[in-house]
Amino acid sequence: MVVDAIALSAVALALLAAVIGSEARLSRLDKRLKRIEHKLDLLAGHLDVRADDPGLDEVAALVRDGRTIEAIKKYRDVTGAGLREAKEAVERMGAR
Predicted local confidence at residue 96, as pLDDT: 67
**Residue 78 burial by CB count (10 A; 0-12/13-18/19+): exposed, middle or buried?**
middle
Length of the chain: 96
How many Å apart are CA 61 and CA 52, to the nearest integer?
A: 14
Task: For residues 5 and 42, state if they share a domain.
Answer: yes
The pLDDT, as a whole number, for residue 91 is 92
Give the domain extent around 38: 1-50
Residues 18 and 13: their CA atoms lie apart, in Å, by 9
| 33 lies in the same domain as 60 | no
Same-domain check for residues 27 and 63: no
Question: pLDDT tens digit string along 18-62?
Answer: 888 888 888 888 888 888 888 888 887 888 877 667 788 899 999
What is the maximal distance between C-alpha atoms in the chain?
69
Question: Comparing 11 with 3, which gets the higher pLDDT?
Answer: 11
58 & 41 share domain: no
- Taking 90 as the threshold, does the pLDDT of residue 66 lie above it? yes
Q: Do 61 and 46 share a domain, yes or no? A: no
The answer on 73 and 44 residing in a single domain is no
pTM of the full predicted structure? 0.50
- 46 and 14 fall within a common domain: yes
